[in-house]
C-alpha cells in the first residue's frame, strides 16, 4: 500500500505539487498574523484570524485615550467560513494521489480545488474590508480613515501563493500539456493593462475631468490654458522674440533636443566607427574600449550635471584655471550669459546622451562585412566614396535608432537644463510636471492635454523615423 502510494506520488505532475503547497499555505495562514489594525495612522496590532477568535474584544491605549473594539460577531463568521474553505481545499489536494488514476475524478478534483481557492481569496478580501464595521467606527468616535485594517506582508504572500495555486489547478483541470504558447496570453493581458489602458487614459483625461458628484464630464479647460492668448518675451540665440507662452517653452525644448541629437551624432558616429573597425581587426579590443564609453551611464545623470555646474560656475573649476593662468581678467559667466548658457546646456546634454548614440551605431557597424568596403576600394572608389556610398547607408538603421534613443528622451528630460540654470530655463518637461503635480484641477487638466500632445508628437516623429528604415530599432537593443 505504502509502496504503491510512493510510486503514485513519484509520477505526480509539478502543478499538483504547486496546488498542494498553496492549499497548505492557505490553511497555515489562518494562524499567521496578517491583518494590521491602524488607529489614527498608528499600527496598533497584528491579527491572524485565529487570534481574532481567541480575543474578539480588544482595548488599545492610544494618544487620545483608549479605543474599544469588538470583533465578536464578525470573527466567528469569517473564521468558520475560512476554515471550512481551507480545510476542504487541503483535504482535496492532499488526497490527489488517491484519485489521480481516474481522469474524470481528477478533473473534478482540480476544478473543486480551483473553486475553493477562488472562494478563499474572495473571503480574504471580504474579511479585510469588513473587519472594521461602521458601528465600531461610530462607537469610538473615529472616521474610516482613522480606523482601518490593511494586510501585512503575510497577507500579500497569501494572495500571491493562492493565486499561483489557482493557476496550477486550472492548468491541471484543463488537462493542458506544457505549451509555451500559453505564456504569451498573460503578457497580452499585461500589454492591455500597462500599455493600452494608460494610453487610452491619457487620451480620455485630456478631454474629461472628474465631476464633483462622481463620474466624468467633458471639459476644454486644459486646452484653454495651453492655447491662451498670452505672450512672453524670451531670448533665442541673442535675439529677443515675443511668442505665445507655451509655444516658446516648446521651441526651447525642441531647440535643445535637436542640437543634442546633432551633437551626439557628430561626436558619436566617429567613435562608433573607430571602435567597430578596431573590433573587426583585433578581437574584442574594440568592445572592451566600448565599455569605457558606456560606463558613465552607471553614474547618476543629475549628479554629473551638478558637477558640470561646479565646472562652469562663476567660482568653478574652469574659471579658477583660466584666471590663475591669467588668460582672462574677470571670470566668464558661462551660466549667466544667455547665449553661453544655452551652448553649455546643449553641451552637457550631448555629454549625457552620447553613449545612447554610440551603442546602436556601433552594434550595426560591427556587423557590416569588411569585405564590402574592400570590394568597393578594389572597384576604384576612394575612401570617402566608400564611406558615403557603402558604409554609411548600411549603418543607417543604427543611426535611426540612435536618433530615436537621444531625441525622444532629450525632449522631455528637463532635469539637465533645470539644474544647470538653477531653474531659470523652463522646458516642456518642467511644465508638464508642474501642471500634473499642481493642486488645481484645471492645471492638472492642462498637464494631461500637454502629455497627450507630447505623446502624439513623439509617435508621429517615431513613425517618420520608422518609415525611413524598417529594421530600425533592432540596433538599439545592443544594450
* 77 is a contact residue toward another protein (CB under 8 A): no
Nearest approach in angstroms of CB 70 to another protein is 28
Nearest alpha carbon to residue 71 among 96, 87, 88, 54: 54
Task: Report the distance separating Cα 122 and Cα 158, nearest Å.
Answer: 12
* 179 is a contact residue toward another protein (CB under 8 A): yes
* 467 is a contact residue toward another protein (CB under 8 A): no
Nearest approach in angstroms of CB 413 to another protein is 8
Q: How far apart are the first and last CA of the chain?
A: 58
Nearest approach in angstroms of CB 202 to another protein is 5
Nearest approach in angstroms of CB 55 to another protein is 30
- Which member of 199, 211, 228, 321 binds another protein (CB under 8 A)? 199
Residue 33 or 331: which CB sits closer to another protein? Answer: 331
- Which member of 42, 80, 126, 182 binds another protein (CB under 8 A)? 182
Query: Do 347 and 339 meet the contact criterion of CB atoms below 8 Å apart?
Result: no
Cell numbers found for residue 294: 558606456
* DSSP bridge pairs for 47: 35
Query: Do 377 and 387 meet the contact criterion of CB atoms below 8 Å apart?
Result: no
Query: Do 245 and 231 meet the contact criterion of CB atoms below 8 Å apart?
Result: yes
Task: Report the distance separating Cα 308 and Cα 312, nearest Å.
Answer: 6
Cα 322 to chain center, whole Å? 44
Listed ranges 3-11, 66-74, 81-89, 450-458: which one lies at the site for another protein (CB under 8 A): 450-458
Listed ranges 85-93, 112-120, 185-193, 230-238: which one lies at the site for another protein (CB under 8 A): 185-193
- Which member of 130, 270, 393, 467 binds another protein (CB under 8 A)? 270
Which residues in 339-378 contact another protein (CB under 8 A)?
351, 354-355
With a CB cutoff of 8 Å and minimum separation 6, the contacts of 6 are none
Task: Report the distance separating Cα 94 and Cα 22, nearest Å.
Answer: 11
Alpha helices, H only, 212-284: 221-226, 245-281
* 460 is a contact residue toward another protein (CB under 8 A): no
* 152 is a contact residue toward another protein (CB under 8 A): no
Residue 119 or 274: which CB sits closer to another protein? Answer: 274
* 41 is a contact residue toward another protein (CB under 8 A): no
Nearest approach in angstroms of CB 348 to another protein is 8
Listed ranges 95-103, 183-191, 382-390, 391-399: which one lies at the site for another protein (CB under 8 A): 183-191
Query: Do 245 and 232 meet the contact criterion of CB atoms below 8 Å apart?
Result: yes
- Which member of 1, 2, 188, 379 binds another protein (CB under 8 A)? 188
* 284 is a contact residue toward another protein (CB under 8 A): yes
Residue 310 or 375: which CB sits closer to another protein? Answer: 310
Query: DSSP class of residue 194?
Result: I
* 317 is a contact residue toward another protein (CB under 8 A): yes
Nearest approach in angstroms of CB 76 to another protein is 30
Residue 138 or 424: which CB sits closer to another protein? Answer: 424
Which residues in 120-139 contact another protein (CB under 8 A)?
none
Nearest approach in angstroms of CB 398 to another protein is 15
- Which member of 115, 274, 332, 343 binds another protein (CB under 8 A)? 274
Residue 183 or 239: which CB sits closer to another protein? Answer: 183
Listed ranges 34-42, 79-87, 190-198, 366-374: which one lies at the site for another protein (CB under 8 A): 190-198
Nearest approach in angstroms of CB 477 to another protein is 5
Which residues in 291-310 contact another protein (CB under 8 A)?
291-293, 295-310
Which residues in 383-442 contact another protein (CB under 8 A)?
404, 408-409, 411-415, 418-419, 422-423, 429, 432-433, 436-437
* 448 is a contact residue toward another protein (CB under 8 A): yes
- Which member of 124, 205, 209, 425 binds another protein (CB under 8 A)? 205
- Which member of 261, 426, 454, 475 binds another protein (CB under 8 A)? 454
Amino acid at each position: 500500500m505504502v509502496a504503491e502510494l510512493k510510486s503514485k506520488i513519484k509520477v505526480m505532475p509539478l502543478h499538483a505539487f504547486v496546488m498542494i503547497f498553496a492549499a497548505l499555505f492557505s490553511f497555515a495562514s489562518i494562524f499567521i498574523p496578517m491583518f494590521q489594525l491602524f488607529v489614527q495612522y498608528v499600527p496598533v496590532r497584528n491579527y491572524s484570524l485565529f487570534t481574532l477568535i481567541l480575543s474578539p474584544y480588544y482595548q488599545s491605549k492610544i494618544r487620545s485615550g483608549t479605543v474599544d473594539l469588538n470583533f465578536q460577531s464578525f470573527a466567528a463568521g469569517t473564521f468558520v467560513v475560512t476554515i471550512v474553505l481551507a480545510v476542504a481545499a487541503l483535504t482535496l489536494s492532499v488526497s490527489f494521489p488517491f484519485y489521480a488514476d481516474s481522469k474524470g475524478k481528477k478533473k473534478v478534483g482540480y476544478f473543486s480545488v480551483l473553486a475553493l481557492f477562488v472562494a478563499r481569496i474572495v473571503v480574504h478580501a471580504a474579511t479585510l474590508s469588513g473587519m472594521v464595521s461602521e458601528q465600531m467606527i461610530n462607537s469610538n468616535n473615529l472616521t474610516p480613515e482613522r480606523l482601518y485594517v490593511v494586510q501585512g506582508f503575510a497577507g500579500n504572500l497569501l494572495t500571491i501563493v493562492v493565486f499561483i495555486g489557482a493557476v496550477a489547478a486550472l492548468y491541471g483541470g484543463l488537462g493542458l500539456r506544457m505549451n509555451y504558447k500559453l505564456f504569451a496570453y498573460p503578457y497580452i493581458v499585461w500589454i492591455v493593462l500597462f500599455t493600452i489602458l494608460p494610453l487610452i487614459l491619457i487620451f480620455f483625461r485630456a478631454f474629461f475631468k472628474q465631476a464633483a458628484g462622481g463620474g466624468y464630464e467633458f471639459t476644454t479647460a486644459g486646452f484653454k490654458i495651453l492655447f491662451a492668448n498670452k505672450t512672453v518675451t524670451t531670448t533665442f540665440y541673442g535675439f529677443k522674440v515675443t511668442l505665445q507662452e507655451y509655444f516658446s517653452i516648446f521651441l526651447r525644448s525642441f531647440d535643445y533636443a535637436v542640437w543634442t541629437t546633432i551633437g551626439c551624432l557628430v561626436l558619436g558616429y566617429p567613435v562608433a566607427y573607430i571602435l567597430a573597425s578596431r573590433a573587426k581587426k583585433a578581437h574584442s579590443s574594440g568592445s572592451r574600449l566600448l565599455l569605457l564609453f558606456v560606463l558613465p551611464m552607471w553614474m547618476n545623470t543629475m549628479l554629473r550635471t551638478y558637477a558640470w555646474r561646479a565646472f562652469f560656475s562663476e567660482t568653478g573649476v574652469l574659471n579658477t584655471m583660466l584666471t590663475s593662468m591669467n588668460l582672462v581678467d574677470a571670470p566668464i559667466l558661462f551660466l549667466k550669459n544667455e547665449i553661453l548658457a544655452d551652448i553649455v546646456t546643449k553641451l552637457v546634454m550631448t555629454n549625457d546622451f552620447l553613449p545612447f548614440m554610440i551603442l546602436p551605431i556601433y552594434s550595426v557597424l560591427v556587423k557590416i562585412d569588411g569585405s564590402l568596403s574592400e570590394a568597393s576600394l578594389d572597384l576604384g572608389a576612394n575612401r570617402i566614396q566608400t564611406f558615403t556610398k557603402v558604409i554609411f547607408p548600411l549603418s543607417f538603421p543604427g543611426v535611426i535608432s540612435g536618433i530615436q534613443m537621444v531625441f525622444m528622451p532629450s525632449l522631455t528630460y528637463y532635469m539637465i537644463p533645470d539644474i544647470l540654470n538653477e531653474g531659470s530655463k523652463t522646458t516642456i518637461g518642467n511644465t508638464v510636471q508642474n501642471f500634473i503635480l499642481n493642486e488645481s484641477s484645471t492645471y492638472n487638466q492642462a498637464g494631461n492635454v500637454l502629455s497627450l500632445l507630447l505623446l502624439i508628437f513623439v509617435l508621429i516623429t517615431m513613425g517618420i523615423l520608422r518609415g525611413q528604415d524598417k529594421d530600425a530599432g533592432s540596433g538599439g537593443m545592443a544594450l
